[in-house]
Amino acid sequence: MLSAALPGCGREDARPALPEAIGSTGQESQCGATLDFQHVEQYDGSFNVTTGFVENRQRPVAQTQWRNDLAARYDNPGDVNGQRWCSGTLISEDLYLTAAHCFREGNGWTFPRDAAGNPIAPAVAAQEMLVRFNYQRAPDNSLRTEQTYTVDALVEFELNGLDVALLRLNGAPGLIHGAARIARNDAATNEPLAIIGHPAGQPKQLSTGNSAGISGNRLNYGNLDTLGGNSGSGILHSETGLLVGVHTNGGCTTTGGNNFGMRIGAVLAASTEITSVLNAQDRVLATFQSQLGREPAESEYVQYVRALSVALAGGSQAELDRVVRGTADVQLVGDFMDLGHDQVLHINRGGSATKIMILDRQSGTAPGTPLYWEEWGQSGLLNGWVDGEDLQLAGDFMNLGYDQVMFINRDGVGGKVMVVDYKAGIVPGTVRAHESWTGPSWLGGWIDDGDLQRVGDFRGLGHDQVMFINRGGIGGKVMVLDYSVSVQPGLLGTQVYSEAWGQSAQLDGWIGDEDLQLVGDFTNLGYDQVMFINRDGTGGKVMVVDYGSGAVPGTVRAHESWTSPSWLGGWIDDGDLQRVGDFRGLGHDQVMFINRGGTGGKVMVLDYAVSVQPGLLGTQVYSEAWGQSNLLLDWLDPNDLLLTGDFRGLNHAQAMFINRAGTGGTAMVVDYVSGTAPGTTVYYEDWASPSWLGGWID
């Protein structure tokens, strides 16, 4: 027998610790003869929204869950220890909107007791819960690895008597999972609605229906199923995707009635915080229109949240313009000064003070040594080459034995490609190659929004080439250009690999928006290959392709499918990091995976040149778990940077962590060559100490 309902949703369903059956007919929140839910990643498009709608709107939705150590900290911990609880939605980088009754005792549950024997207060209850993202089933029905965040504070609670609560989370999860946009007006009667949440505490699911109108503070819906655990879910308008309310209560039966939530108009009238988010949202959307002539693309959800944070903080319009245009500062790694080890070339795109700095940390002494310094206004060479839409690549493109910078201007006027050599240290650098928009070019259709550019010695020529991947679906698909030689007069570079769409199906499913493409000598061939990682949960998962022969479609050197044993469970989720380098000093490249989810493994280095365990691609040559060390604490936040290169001249790669929070450490270089966790710190620089980085990591 089901012994207690989940919080506050009528008598919607049983404890989430029970089996994952959604429930039986006859429950009050079931509208009609059947329960109509679909798992978000298995949605078949048969409800009133598209699959794309669900894919993009499910990211900011999470589940609250009680901590599992209540008995260790309370004499009377109640009966909620570890219980999966309510749902909620991010509306900014750290504000999480949910239902207020989730933090009050009721419906047969017993909260922990305070020293006076009373149920803990809502503000305390909120901090005794964790917020878990990605509790959902993949297309193959496996559970995704959850990402967990703690609660900083209960910011707003039951304002004007509304069943609404607003939490502030630690860790800025919106910069990984995005944020829902808020409607300014209520949904009208019969308009289509969708709810994404955790019915009965289960993995994330979708239900849809229509508005049955508003009554008082309520938004009613009579054909949209909900269950206990859905409390706090955002109510979305199915056509606009905007949040029009917060689900709070069941009330449907198989023969009639309504479920309902708090309507957005009432929420905005009560909440200054949520109104501030809406006003900031309007400002950000207006900036996208003024700067880019459009609303944010679905793939730009992180950029949108960053801009929202600037607007909420009262940032200037110029600052907001820079964020929307993507004019964050640039950091490139390479041996630009021909020293036999890597330096970092910083580009400040702010338009004032210093423009370019090359910083060497080989000595290990903070704050490093600047080897090149160019001020804004000192030279016009880079005017028009470092705007938000432009590209900057590092490599030995001209076969000089050290690295240069390739600038690609995408605005359609003036120069298109320019390679600049900084070895001499003289401003403004030496132009080694140049191509204009009015001249002949290989690049038509290869540098559009969404296209990919990767640098490496793909053909085994002893210097770097550029691989261009056109994701448009027609024309050329993959092209490798060698810029050290120009065979055709007037045409910069030589095409040394060319593959057209339709010529081969090898890369189908490997170059989508969510997929990864890494470059390195993974299989110890003496030149670079491309590692494709498919993150959609079906088909192939990892594929290493060798383009050395120049023959289409390239040679597959390694392959792993989603159904095979794998090291990568929980390492390639949204927000996780992947970097390439010879971290273990093996003479070829490995891949460093960093899981930012906060649980399980934290850092893993895989060597794909050797597979020790039968059926398992690659060998784990470094492993560090969350909780094993505090070395990387505060270095893996969403805004932080991770660069790889031989910064200390050790003849193998190290990882450079840059913390942009403004407190604690500024830059840290960690050497993983020994294979012993947590690695060895070989350079450290503090925000409180003198630093060259002020204004260079915005």
What element of type H or E holds 282?
Answer: helix 272-292
Write down the pLDDT at residue 350: 73
Q: Where are the beta strands (DSSP E) in 510-600?
A: 516-520, 529-533, 540-546, 555-561, 577-581, 590-594
Band of residue 339 on the pLDDT scale cut at 50, 70, 90: very high
Would you say 258 and 251 are in contact if contact means Cβ atoms under 8 Å apart? yes
Distance between CA atoms of residues 97 and 102, nearest Å: 12
Write down the pLDDT at residue 22: 27
Identity of the amino acid at 617:
L
Distance between CA atoms of residues 299 and 303, nearest Å: 9
Band of residue 11 on the pLDDT scale cut at 50, 70, 90: very low
Distance between CA atoms of residues 651 and 582, nearest Å: 9
Identity of the amino acid at 47:
F
3-state secondary structure of 256: coil
Question: Which two tokens mark 42?
Answer: 């298995």
Question: Which two tokens mark 348?
Answer: 């400040």
Alpha carbons within 13 A on the beta-carbon side of 159? 15
The more confident residue out of 531 and 252 is: 531
Band of residue 33 on the pLDDT scale cut at 50, 70, 90: confident
3-state secondary structure of 402: coil
Write down the pLDDT at residue 393: 98
677 φ, ψ (degrees, to nearest 5): -70, 140
3-state secondary structure of 552: coil
Residue 26 has pLDDT above 50, yes or no: no
Partners of residue 326 on adjacent β-strands: none
Write down the pLDDT at residue 459: 98
- The pLDDT tens digits for 434-463 are 999 999 999 999 998 789 999 999 999 999
DSSP state of 227: -
Write down the pLDDT at residue 294: 81
Band of residue 15 on the pLDDT scale cut at 50, 70, 90: very low
3-state secondary structure of 285: helix
Would you say 170 and 151 are in contact if contact means Cβ atoms under 8 Å apart? yes
Residue 204 has pLDDT above 50, yes or no: yes
- Residue-averaged pLDDT of the chain: 91
**C-alpha angle 483/426/395, rounded to 5°?**
30
3-state secondary structure of 299: helix
Write down the pLDDT at residue 176: 85
Band of residue 698 on the pLDDT scale cut at 50, 70, 90: confident
Q: Where are the beta strands (DSSP E) in 363-403?
A: 369-375, 391-395
The b/e string for 17-26 (b: 16+ C-beta within 10 A; e otherwise) is: eeeeebbeee
Band of residue 2 on the pLDDT scale cut at 50, 70, 90: very low
Would you say 615 and 634 are in contact if contact means Cβ atoms under 8 Å apart? no
Band of residue 156 on the pLDDT scale cut at 50, 70, 90: very high
The answer regarding whether domain 38-270 maps to CATH 2.40.10.120 reads yes
Domain edges within the chain:
38-270, 278-325, 328-437, 575-607+620-698
Give the position of tokens 């109640």: 78
Other beta carbons within 10 angstroms of residue 363's beta carbon come to 11
Question: Which two tokens mark 684?
Answer: 């450290």
Residues in the chain: 698
Alpha carbons within 13 A on the beta-carbon side of 697? 20
| pTM attached to this predicted model | 0.66
Residue 181 has pLDDT above 50, yes or no: yes
Would you say 622 and 604 are in contact if contact means Cβ atoms under 8 Å apart? yes
Band of residue 419 on the pLDDT scale cut at 50, 70, 90: very high
Band of residue 327 on the pLDDT scale cut at 50, 70, 90: low
Among 17-21, 202-206, 324-328, 502-506, name the one with the lowest average pLDDT: 17-21
Residue 326 has pLDDT above 90, yes or no: no
3-state secondary structure of 262: strand
Distance between CA atoms of residues 122 and 101, nearest Å: 9
The more confident residue out of 300 and 91 is: 91
**Average pLDDT of the residues in 202-231:** 95
Band of residue 598 on the pLDDT scale cut at 50, 70, 90: confident
β-pair type (369-375, 415-421): unpaired
